[in-house]
Structure 1
Amino acid sequence: MPANFTIVTLGVADLDRSARFYRDLGWEQRGDQAEGITWFRTSGSWVGLYGYDALAEDAATEPVPADELPTYRGVTLALNLASEAAVDLAFARVQEVGGTIVKPAARTDWGGYSGYFADPDGHLWEIAHNPYWTVVDGRVDIGAT
């Protein structure tokens, strides 16, 4: 199977609220939200917002009540930026538009700069700068292994 990650879909309690949050971050929205899903273009993949219960139904699973979900759900999404200053600006914007700062950005033991925020539905996002990676047009090149 090719490693061609194209979409992450987030289950959300209120599609209008969540779409407004990502628009307010400055993300480019595509598609007709009236169809029950909305899309945001990123540098190489898409973020979809879909009703929380509808997404569970689509996956043939039983949803945990949203108010019982833990802060940490075993997954985070990451935005890697070109500098520490860009990370700080991104966190300022997240806070301005109503995101929850879970862990403020700080220098890390691996030499980078990183922090975490939660969107209105509690999905965790890391915003980081890794000085060992190159970021070009929003895409990361981590080099050869």
Structure 2
Amino acid sequence: MRFSKGRNFLFRIPEGRDFVEFINQFAKKNHVLIGTLSAIGTLRNPKVGYFEEDAGEYKVIPLKGTYEVVSLLGNVSIKDGEPFAHIHVALGDSEGRVYGGHLIEGEVFVAEVFIQELLGELLERKPQENGLSLWDEITL
């Protein structure tokens, strides 16, 4: 699929808000249907997930305390008719250990976000047999 660049957004999420929820609300309010995102900052008591293939669901890993966002990358597409942010994150603790996975939630202490909107054919996540909601595959 080919896309062209749409609008660019650069903003800070207010302290105390849930990162994922805020991104989903922002995308909906600003009609961002497809895009990429990245961020830096710090999250409190985040929950990350690891998809367990055999169980067909995410194992939730709750982290206690404050974590530096070492890397945060994701995309926005459509799921159940609404903009949906799919985000992966690497989080560092005060000892330099890093934890990572699918970001399920995290209270913002500081979060500076960049979203690049993409224009083109909609990408829609649909439930698959493996338990994930994925875009359609492309064939070459």
Name the TM tier (shorter chain): under 0.3
More RCO (CA 8 Å, sep 6+): 2
As a proportion of its length, which structure holds more helix? 1
